[in-house]
Structure formats: structure tokens, C-alpha cells
Amino acid sequence: MTQDFHTYREIRQQPRVWRKAYDIIRARKSEIQNFLNENLDKDFTIVLTGAGTSAYIGDALEPALSRVRRSVRAIATTDIITDPGLYFDENSKVLLVSFARSGNSPESVGAVKAVEKTAGKVAHVFITCNENGELAKMKGSNILTILLPPETNDVSLAMTSSYSTMLIVCSMIARIDNIEEDKESIDLLSDKVEAAMEYYESKIQEIADRNFTRAIFLGSGPLKGVAEESRLKLQELTDGAVMCAYDSFLGFRHGPKALVNPNSMLVYLLSNKPDIQRYELDLIRQIKSNNNVKASVVVCQQKPAALEADCYDLCVEIGLPNSVADYYACVSYIFVGQLLGFFKSIATGLSPDSPSVSGNISRVVEGVTLYL
């Protein structure tokens, strides 16, 4: 039974957990405002960091939050640690936002120390799911620690509810002055995703049962970052049996489209902006015209009238209105990649909770020596 797996329960719990996370941030509004007022001025650059899935949160949020604050960069901890001087110097003023499910991977604390050593002025926001992790134990007047609901500390190997909740919470912090008015967006997001997961689950399973050996996820802007994480979910939950890639719609034309073959599944994460959709629909039509693939999946807020029915095998309509901004709406797409990975893992004879028969990946990365 699917309910027997932690991975399944952690995917399905996400809308409920997002509501709980909102309540946590709303209750700490004054504390968060005071910290940001004391530790963040117009000369600071906000750096979003993490490793693996936690890094991909930043990749989605960098373009999404650029409308809120221009000086936002996503830099993985794995890049910071290897060469911090490439990104920071004694003149750097940095608010380092660290995402970490466990907070125990070597890079989590290592990146904090590397930035402290290299940058001129540093403040930290730790967004983590584990109150007992090494990151959560770090204290200081320049540190704000945000602990998420304990159920976000996913038991399974793959990060699911941890990813989406950390992403949403970072957006809430960026919008802390308007947190009350954002409740409507969080409620809409939770309601629509909960309903969509219920309605489309069996349809997604049918796609996952098809005999594809490679998958390609495409998205524009923030959804390119969500495509990046979706790609990882399917690849790690199948222990690499399905090789996966991601790109932007326009970027995919410039060489990576060579990946498409008859054993491929294409997943298109459509923007809700009509001017962007024009480019996306052109590529979908071109691939339909030129290629035979195992499956094509469209994920959108509302199905575009111009999208022909023969261009997809499944269209997942989430149904969020355009009033829900990108920094919240982008996370509504992730459940499709998560469920594809979960059901494909079962279809390939693996356990979704611990799919790595090869032993190449583990829940917390081990074996990294830090040279700081």
C-alpha cells in the first residue's frame, strides 16, 4: 500500500504543513522584523544557500524574489566551500539564508564558517527542519533560526515536504511586513494542491508505469528551479535507472534537445503568464511534431486554450489564480515530480523510502572533508 511509505505520506502532508509553517512565521513576525531591521540594510546581498535539494530552493527563489528585492543570489554551499573568495571579500555585506533539512551535512556548517571568514559583514537566517541538527545549535546575535514543523524533517531519503516548506517559509520571511495579507495565498495554495494531488494521483501513477528510461523537466524563470528539483526526485528515487535532465524552454533548444528519444518522458511546467507561454507552447508543439516519446505531461495553473490536446498525455491543472505570486505559486508544481518519482520507484522494484541499492546516495551526505 502506498500509505505504508514515509515518502508518500511526506508528499501528501505538504498542504497541511504549509499552513502550520505560516502560523509559525506569523507568530514570530515582530522578532523577524526586528532581526532584519538590525542586520539587513540596502547594501547587503541576500545569498540563498544549501546543498542538493536545499540549493535548488535558492535556484527557484532567486528569480521569484527578485521582484521583492533585487540583490538576491543563489549560491550552493558546495560552491561556497570550494572557493569562497570567488563570491565574497572583505567588502561584502551578506545575509546568508541557509536551507537544511537535517543541518548535519558537512557543508551546512562549513559554508557558514567559510562566509564568516571571508566576507566583511555577515548575518544569518537558518531555515531548518531539525531542532537537534548542528546548524540549529549555532547561536549568535547575528543568527536567526527558523525551525519548521517537526514532520518536515523527512524520514525518507528524498526531500519532499522539507523542500517545499523551506521554500515557502523563505518567501514568507521576505514578505514579513505583509504576512497577514499573504494568508489568503497560503490557504489557496494549500487547498488547490491538496485537491490536485487527490484528483491526479492515479493519473500520474499511470504515466510513471510507462516504460521510459529518461525524463526531461522544463520550466521558465522560477519554474526552471522547480524543474531542477523535479529532475532530482525522479532520478534519486529510481536509483539512477531513469536518467533525468532539466532546462528552460528556450535553453533546451540550444543543444540539450538532443536528449529526446523514443524512451523519453517530457514534463512541461507551464508559466501562468501568457507572454511566456507563447515560447513554451511553441516548443511543445515542435517536440510533438518531430519526436515520438513515451509520455508528455503538462503542469499548469489553467490549461491554455491554445494548447492542443494531442500535445500531451496528461495535463495537470492546479488551478491557482494569477493573484498568487510566483514566490508561492512555483512550489505548487513540485508534487507532480515527487509523485512521478515515488510511483516510478515502486514500478522499478525499489523502496521509495530507501531507493539507493547502489549506496551512492544517503539521507545525510557523508565522507566530505572540509579544508577551512
pLDDT of 356 reads 77
Quick one: pLDDT at residue 365?
54
Averages of pLDDT over each 10 residues, the chain, 372 residues: 91 98 98 94 91 96 82 95 96 96 86 95 96 92 96 93 98 96 98 98 98 98 98 96 97 95 98 96 96 97 95 98 95 98 97 81 57 62
311 assigned to some structural domain: yes
Write the burial class of residue 242 (CB in 10 Å: 0-12 exposed, 13-18 middle, 19+ buried): buried
pTM: 0.95
* Beta-carbon-side half-sphere exposure of residue 36 (alpha carbons within 13 Å): 16
Nearest by Cα to 229 from 201, 200, 269: 269
Regarding whether 56 and 174 lie in a shared domain, the answer is: yes
Q: Which domain holds residue 315?
A: 184-347
Query: Within this chain, do residues 200 and 139 fall inside the same structural domain, yes or no?
Result: no
Count structural domains, the chain.
Answer: 2
Same-domain pairing of 335 and 189: yes
Residue ending a domain, among 120, 154, 181, is: 181
Q: Is residue 300 part of a domain?
A: yes
Say if 368 falls within a structural domain: no
Same-domain pairing of 164 and 129 = yes
* Same-domain pairing of 96 and 215: no
CA-closest candidate to residue 372, choices 107, 142, 139: 107
Domain check: are 198 and 229 in the same one? Answer: yes
* Element spanning 23, H or E: helix 14-27
Nearest to 59 by CA among 243, 206, 268, 229: 229
Whether 358 maps to a domain, the answer reads: no
> Which of residues 136, 152, 181 is at a domain's end?
181
Q: Are both 131 and 266 inside the same structural domain? A: no
The CA–CA distances, whole Å, from 307 to 104, 267, 274, 278 equal 45, 14, 12, 10
Residue 312: alpha-carbon gap to chain centroid: 24
**Domain-located, residue 369:** no
Residue 219 and residue 94 share a domain: no
263 and 168 within one domain: no
In whole angstroms, give the CA distance from residue 113 to residue 21.
28
Angle at 166 between CA 160 and CA 169, to 5 degrees: 140
Q: How many other C-beta atoms lie within 10 A of the C-beta of residue 28? A: 17
Residues 8, 140: one domain?
A: yes
Task: Confirm whether 194 is domain-assigned.
Answer: yes
- Look at residue 365 and tell me if it is in a domain: no
User: Which of 233, 310, 236, 223 is closest to 268 using CA atoms?
Assistant: 223
> Both 49 and 154 in a single domain?
yes
pLDDT attached to residue 76: 97
SS3 at position 364: coil
Q: What whole-number distance in Å separates Cα of residue 37 and Cα of residue 186?
A: 25
- Note whether 206 and 334 are same-domain residues: yes
Q: Which residues of 129-148 are buried (b: 16+ CB within 10 A; e: fewer)?
A: bbeebbbbebeeeebbbbbb
In a domain, 362, yes or no: no
Instruction: Give the CATH number, domain containing residue 167.
Output: 3.40.50.10490
